[in-house]
Amino acid sequence: MIRRLREFADAYPWAWTPEDLEAFSVELASGARPVTKSTLRGYQVVVRAFCDFITDARYPWAAECVERFGEPPVQICHEWNTLAHIVEYEGRPQRRALTYDELELFFTATDERVAAIQRAGRKGALSALRDAVLFKTVYAFGLRRSEAAGLDLADVRSSPGVSRFGECGAVYVRWGKASRGSGPKRRTVLAVPEFDWAVEGLRQWIEEDRALYGASRSDALWLTERGTRVSLRYLDFRFAELRDHLGLPPELTVHALRHSYVTNLIEWGYAERFVQDQVGHAYASTTAIYTSVGDDFKNRVLANALRRIYGDDS
What Å distances lie between residue 235 and 132, 220, 230, 243, CA to CA?
11, 15, 8, 12
For residue 210, indicate whether it is catalytic: no
Q: From CA 97, how far away is CA 71, in angstroms rounded? A: 54
Reference 277, options 176, 189, 192, 159; nearest CA is 189
Closest C-alpha to 100, from 296, 255, 276: 296
* Cα torsion 3, 9, 15, 20: sign: negative
Cα–Cα distance, 240 to 255 (Å, whole number) = 12
Catalytic residue, candidates 130, 238, 258, 259: 258
Q: Which of 48, 95, 177, 187 is catalytic?
A: 177
- Judge residue 122's burial from the number of C-beta atoms within 10 Å of its C-beta, 0-12 exposed, 13-18 middle, 19 or more buried: exposed
Q: Which of 144, 145, 238, 243 is catalytic?
A: 144
Residue 85 annotated in active site? no
State how far the Cα of 50 lies from the Cα of 6, in Å rounded to an integer. 12
Residue 258 annotated as catalytic = yes
User: What's the rounded Cα separation, in Å, for the pair 218 and 94?
Assistant: 38
The residue annotated as part of the active site, out of 41, 255, 270, 300, is 255
Of 131, 123, 100, 99, the closest CA to residue 223 belongs to 131
Q: Phi and psi of 37, rounded to 5°? A: -65, -40
Q: Catalytic site residue 33?
A: no
Q: What is the DSSP letter of 228?
A: S
Q: How far is the first Cα of the chain from the last one, in angstroms, to the nearest whole number?
A: 62
Q: Is 144 a catalytic residue?
A: yes
In Å, how far from its chain's centre is CA 194? 22
263 vs 99: CA distance, rounded Å? 10
Catalytic residues, which ones? 144, 177, 255, 258, 281, 290
